Amino acid sequence: MSITPSVKDEPTTPQSPPVPKRIRATMSKKAGINFPVARIGTMLRNDRYVKRYSKLTSVYLASILEYLSTEIIEKAGQATLDAGRNIIQSRDLLKGIQDDGPLTNLLGGKNSLQIASAGWVQPRPRM
């Protein structure tokens, strides 16, 4: 006589469906901008510009930086196309900023505006 161990059937319990992992949304994605909000917040915190600041400060600063960089690159792209080229050069950045009055005033005026290796760019006369 052979004795075989009896296989116990474990009681089957209904398993709940697996809970999907929450996909974390970055602060940049929540704000709808491309610049890194968390990194700017870290820079503000580490450099100790002020003792306290709101969490929205980094969002506001990131959105300002994104807007300004978009404007500058747009103007430089237009200057590149006007010159008949396809690649933006540092001269095009300088020319694009100089041709836009508010950007020129924001970045220090016509005389103090310099970009490394851009040389001197003749400003376009205003009409």
Angle at 125 between CA 118 and CA 66, to 5 degrees: 50
Taking only the tens place, the pLDDT of each residue in 29-76 is: 999 999 999 999 999 999 888 888 898 999 999 999 999 999 999 999
Identify the structural domains of the chain with CATH numbers, from first to last.
27-110 (1.10.20.10)
Question: So what's the pLDDT on residue 23?
Answer: 85
**pTM (predicted TM-score):** 0.71
Closest alpha carbon to 80 in 40, 52, 114, 121:
121
Report the C-alpha gap between 76 and 20 in whole angstroms. Answer: 45
pLDDT digits (tens, 9 = 90+) for 70-127: 999 999 999 999 999 999 998 999 889 888 889 888 888 777 777 766 766 666 666 6
Residues 6+ apart with CB under 8 A from 107: 97, 113
pLDDT at 20 over 90: no
Q: What is the pLDDT of residue 56?
A: 94
